[in-house]
């Protein structure tokens, strides 16, 4: 399949991961958040490194951070699919939390911040 080839070219290290120990648990976890099979595939193709991130140290804390901002499950899912890099490619402290605080300094409400994050998640990754 061309998507598999594209993903491996983008992140060849993926081939070294155990299907049972690495790939399946992360794919199942993404599905447990509400992503369907096509969204899981799209997420992995966009950012295959997500399969290397620790569930406990990266992925779960990110989701909790998003929910702590007031995001609901569908907004978290939308954010992950749109910009999976936010799931571990960037520091929560340096990027997400700092930018949220900046928006709060400009009197953004939590609802407005959630809307910005779920609509333009890439803004929080740079």
CB atoms within 10 A of CB 62: 20
Q: What is the pLDDT of residue 83?
A: 87
34-92 tens-digit pLDDT: 999 999 999 999 999 999 999 998 899 889 888 887 889 998 998 899 888 888 766 66
Q: Is the pTM of this model over 0.75?
A: yes
CB atoms within 10 A of CB 4: 12
Residue 30 exposed, middle or buried by CB count within 10 Å (0-12, 13-18, 19+): buried
Residues 6+ apart with CB under 8 A from 115: none
């Amino acid at each position: 399949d061309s998507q598999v080839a594209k993903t491996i070219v983008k992140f060849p290290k993926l081939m070294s991961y155990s299907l049972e120990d690495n790939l399946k648990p992360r794919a199942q976890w993404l599905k447990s958040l509400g992503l369907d099979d096509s969204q899981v595939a799209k997420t992995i193709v966009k950012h295959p490194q997500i399969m290397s991130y620790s569930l406990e140290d990266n992925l779960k804390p990110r989701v909790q951070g998003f929910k702590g901002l007031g995001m609901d499950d569908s907004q978290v899912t939308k954010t992950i699919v749109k910009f999976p890099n936010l799931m571990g490619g960037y520091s929560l402290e340096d990027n997400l939390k700092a930018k949220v605080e900046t928006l709060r300094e400009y009197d953004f409400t939590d609802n407005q911040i959630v809307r910005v994050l779920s609509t333009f998640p890439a803004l929080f990754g740079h």
